A = this chain, B = another copy of it.
Amino acid sequence: MTYDKPFLPDEFRRRVQDVKQRMERAGLDLLVCQDPANMGWLTGYDAWSFQYPQAVLVHLELDVPIWMGRLVDVNSAFVTTDLPPENIFSFSDHLVNHPELHPFDDLCQLIKSRGWHSARIGVEMDAHYYTARGHQHLVNGLPNARFFDSCGLVNWARLVKSKAEIVYMREAGRIVSNTMLEVISTLKPGVPQYQIAAEVYSSQIRGIDGKYGDYTSACPLIQFGDNTNAPHLTWTDKPLPKSGLVLLELAAARRHYHAPLARTVYIGKPPEEVKRLANVIVEGVDAVLEIAKPGEVVEEVDAAWQNILKRNGYVKKGRSGYSIGLNYPPDWNERTVSIRSGDRTVLQAGMCFHFQTGIRLEDFGAAISESFVVTEAGGERLTDVDRRLIVVD
């Protein structure tokens, strides 16, 4: 089968080596990854198969990881990874959706067959698809093993992006910039909301200059008028009003690397309070991009933003951004660094963030976000859409 792998074999080797070093430091012999982004980052594995149990195993003694999944997905593992055939295994199909048995029963057998029954095993306790039941079957099936929460060990290894990864991040940024502009051009009174969502999807995937997009880890998040205070509601058939706010939070994904972007649009003549909030947000993002250099501490980045909000009489609760990169549904947040008070992570060149900027007041909200990569010169934007309240007359 024909398939263009997103990275050269060396890149995967480096990643596995890095993860094994982190495992040694954490005192783990074996790591069981179920997070599809971690599985993909370690091996290249890429298929919409995360609705069922599957795993990539990294063991200190192995040069190359092991993949285990459903029989129906074995060919996808052969096609998308460089793993040798002897490292690719399938569960018995009758274990799927079985009331008593579980595919991880077969995983336990595989682990035992390698002599790893008493290993110190790291598992991704809070990965989206690592269910309580899957964990129970692993623990019960390997009574001599000791289990530890990997605490996102691979997610943390993904934090600093390689040059090859940043190429995809920039391409995702170009796609989402194009999508945002295309979508804004469709915002006219009377257009039903779903038509705007349809345009987002189509544009995200068509991409730009022959660089197509993958499915993004969340749907387009678009809010209209008084729904701008409920940021995760999705589209309906309501027509766009003659005047009012539209908030768009979109992403594009290039080989599953995500660049999210939020913009605030006003149809008609914007009230002064909306213009003022937008201006303050842009000023706050300027401050963030200015100081987001290697060596800076994450919570100081948040403080720079909070100071500008405070000086202008606004309050933002909760975090103001998060690390981004390779991801799969349901989220494009890497679940490592949160830009908020208390996060003492030190910035390094090559880290990528979505600085989210959503501020929700009593009556309305606004967001003018940026995805950026940390460089010696500060945060470098991955996208290229005007940073202002966009007015559609």
Question: Quick one: given A71-B318, A201-B202, A229-B75, are A128 and B236 in contact (CB under 8 Å)?
Answer: no
Within 8 A of B (CB), among A54-95: 71-73, 75-76, 78-80, 93-94
In the complex the two chains form, is B194's CB within 8 Å of A207's CB? yes
Which residue of B has the minimal Cβ distance to A196?
B205
The A interface, classified by DSSP as helix, strand, loop or mixed, is loop
In the complex the two chains form, is A128's CB within 8 Å of B51's CB? yes
In the complex the two chains form, is B192's CB within 8 Å of A198's CB? no
Question: Quick one: given A99-B151, A131-B131, A134-B132, are A201 and B195 in contact (CB under 8 Å)?
Answer: no
Residues in B with CB closer than 8 Å to A128 are 51, 128-129, 131
C-alpha spacing A176/B85, complex, angstroms: 38
Residues in B with CB closer than 8 Å to A127 are 131
In the complex the two chains form, is B230's CB within 8 Å of A1's CB? yes
Residues in B with CB closer than 8 Å to A308 are none
The answer, among B136, B318, B338, for a CB contact under 8 Å with A72, is: B318
Residues in B with CB closer than 8 Å to A331 are 51
User: Which of A192, A218, A230, A318 has most B Cβ within 10 Å?
Assistant: A230
Q: In angstroms, how far is the closest chain B Cβ from the Cβ of A162? A: 22
Residues in B with CB closer than 8 Å to A80 are 233
Residues in B with CB closer than 8 Å to A125 are 131-133, 136
The answer, among B194, B205, B230, for a CB contact under 8 Å with A194, is: B205
In the complex the two chains form, is A194's CB within 8 Å of B215's CB? no
The answer, among B73, B76, B227, for a CB contact under 8 Å with A1, is: B227
A387 at the interface (CB under 8 A from B): no
In the complex the two chains form, is A338's CB within 8 Å of B194's CB? no
Residues in B with CB closer than 8 Å to A93 are 317-319
Q: Within the oligomer, what is the number of copies of this chain?
A: 2
C-alpha spacing A127/B51, complex, angstroms: 10
**Binary flags per residue of A307-330, CB closer than 8 Å to B gives 1, else 0:** 000000000011100100000011
Residues in B with CB closer than 8 Å to A192 are 212
Residues in B with CB closer than 8 Å to A233 are 3, 46-47, 76, 79-80
Residues in B with CB closer than 8 Å to A201 are 198, 201-202, 205
Which residue of B has the minimal Cβ distance to A127?
B131
Residues in B with CB closer than 8 Å to A301 are none
**Binary flags per residue of A216-232, CB closer than 8 Å to B gives 1, else 0:** 00110100001101111
Question: Quick one: given A79-B227, A133-B125, A134-B126, are A205 and B198 in contact (CB under 8 Å)?
Answer: yes
Q: In angstroms, how far is the closest chain B Cβ from the Cβ of A126? A: 4
Which residue of B has the minimal Cβ distance to A151?
B99
Q: In angstroms, how far is the closest chain B Cβ from the Cβ of A361? A: 13
Q: List 16 A-B contacts (CB under 8 A).
A: A3-B236, A51-B330, A72-B232, A72-B318, A75-B229, A75-B230, A79-B227, A93-B317, A96-B319, A102-B126, A125-B136, A128-B131, A195-B206, A212-B236, A214-B234, A329-B330
